[in-house]
Structure 1
């Protein structure tokens, strides 16, 4: 399965649509059947009220970001004007126009710092307006499969749009597509959702019914059999636990000082085997005093396994490392001049 970033929009097509809520009913007879039928509309009304309450609470904290040649979304992080979004939304830009949910005149903002390794960035409004409302970030570790969520953002440039769905899965490790010379981030513990995520939703809010942001929508899956068209109902969001870790460091120090991400400390490239299929990662260089160098791994070695996980590509190595932590000890299997070797490695930090 492929994934695509949800940043750019070059055309907008608006289709009027309504939301149809249907209640559940159970088989029965007599009075119990009648009471079940009467209770359904009330349940629908309660859920609709919950949706509207969440939207009233959170949507004012979701903004549209104009990054010169692209549009994305962002979430107000505090009343000082800090806004969290995706690194791929800000790209290489340093100044931005920000439009709030009220649709008033665009505000100006500047980049504080970008952290492409986790596809997160923080920008700051030059002149935060009075009454700026920060979103409440919840605990994404408590997210459950089947939990109702709303995605808020500016898909296709349609600001203040809301879609609904559920948490479809947790703990996904997803690698972003390469672009503009970037290898693409590999992000662990992502939330998968069925809420529609379209171009422009990147950097917005994935919200639970307690009006808490539990994720930042970032990627939509694509289906190669459909010419890499969107795979409906499969989107991914960076968990709020990671968002808070990264953003708090950027606001405090101007950069990420503790990534919490494991690393081997190598520069590598995917190599092909005799069958012309990916067969491992060739080490092009090792960082001095890095984890690999300390374990005796050298340039020219071909890494084929990390722990029990087979390594065939740079992406598979990144995904394997995403499940580890700095300081963890693991075995690395590699080939040197045709001979297989295995060493114990204490992983470093990205």
Structure 2
């Protein structure tokens, strides 16, 4: 379809890395490392340690404290066949993610930044917008992200992306909005054409992660996909449009049969799009 979905499945890295150093935060701006934090496991105790920022020496912004605050709000979403990213919304144990991350059943596993797994259930999914909602009882009572429904989406605004591309759990990157309200040619049933275009580093597995306003630490978008032809171009859904669906599902979750029907429709759609993409790249 000319757009590469950023969700994939490989052997679960989180199960085998429970005691490993757990967090790598990379801030990239104009090719420079801006710093971050990592988790240092000493004698079973996890301690956050600062990474010296090269960008700081060059007089560039240091976002390491931002990532330290935002990292616990981001999660990994794992299903039987795929994985992606997500983030905690409100205090009722709700995780926002991408629809194409959760297309093979109601039950999922959600891993937090300390590699602790929790069971979750898909309670909402859209075939028109690439979003889904998961309920995780273990997360009830935990504070979710702050959102900004009126943030100006303008080219040049600094943004922070926190997601889990490949096996690098909760990786942070820095970039800019490079284009607001982008229209994409979609072969699926989606009529949505108001994507946020940005250049913070994301990759396969980043779908569903939060895109933050770097000046406020508020979510302004949900990472959904990258350009199939230009790796540096990424897209996110504006949070104000996402919450139209999310808040509705919180009040009234979709029936299980409806969710399963939508998942089947999406699986067929993505299989067809993958075939189309492979044919395009071979030409």
Say if 2:174 is the partner of 1:174. Answer: no
Residue 53 of structure 1: SS of its match in structure 2? helix
Aligned twin of 1:211: 217
Is contact 1:87-1:121 (8 Å) kept? yes
Distance 1:62 1:17 in 2: 15
Note closer, same or farther for the CA distance 1:17–1:64 as it changes in structure 2 (3 Å cut): closer
Q: 1:10 to 1:216 in 2, by over 3 A?
A: same
Query: Of 129, 135, 153, which residue of structure 2 is paired with 1:118?
Result: 129
How far apart are 1:212 and its partner, in Å? 0.6
Matches of residues 1-350 of structure 1 in structure 2 within 5 Å?
2-10=2-10, 20=32, 41=57, 43-44=59-60, 47-48=61-62, 51-104=63-116, 106-128=117-139, 132-139=142-149, 141-176=151-186, 183=188, 185-209=190-214, 210-223=216-229, 231-255=230-254
**What is the number of equivalent residue pairs in this alignment?**
220
Q: What is the deviation of 1:190? A: 0.9
What residue number does 1:293 align with? none
Stretches (4+) displaced over 6 A: none
CA contact (8 A) 2:27 2:173 kept: no
Query: C-alpha distance in 1, partners of 2:153/2:3?
Result: 22
Q: Aligned Cα RMSD in Å?
A: 2.8
**Inter-CA distance 87–140: structure 2 relative to 1 (3 Å threshold):** farther
Larger Rg: 1
Give 1:3 deviation, angstroms.
0.9
CA shift at 1:18, angstroms? Answer: 8.3
Q: Distance in 1 between matches of 2:234 and 2:150?
A: 16
Provide closer, same or farther for how the CA distance between residues 197 and 18 of structure 1 changes in structure 2, counting only shifts above 3 A.
closer
- TM-score, normalised by the number of residues in structure 2: 0.70
Say whether the 8 Å CA contact 1:221–1:235 is kept in structure 2: yes
Q: TM-score, normalised by structure 1?
A: 0.57
Is the CA contact 2:79–2:104 (under 8 Å) kept in the aligned structure 1? Answer: no
Distance 1:248 1:58 in 2: 22
1: CA distance between counterparts of 2:105 and 2:156?
Answer: 38
CA shift, 1:120, in A, is 1.0
Q: CA deviation at 1:141?
A: 4.9
**1:193 CA drift (Å):** 0.4
Contact 1:249–1:255 (CA<8 Å) still a contact in 2?
A: no
User: How far apart are the structure 2 equivalents of 1:150 and 1:208?
Assistant: 6
Identify if the C-alpha distance between structure 1 residues 17 and 148 changes in structure 2 by more than 3 Å, giving closer, same or farther: closer
Q: Which runs of 5+ in 1 are unaligned?
A: 23-39, 178-182, 224-230, 257-350
Contact preservation (8 Å) 2:7, 2:84: yes
Unaligned runs of 5+ in 2: 13-24, 35-55, 256-283
Per-residue deviation, 1:250: 1.0
CA distance in 1, matches of 2:198, 2:171: 16
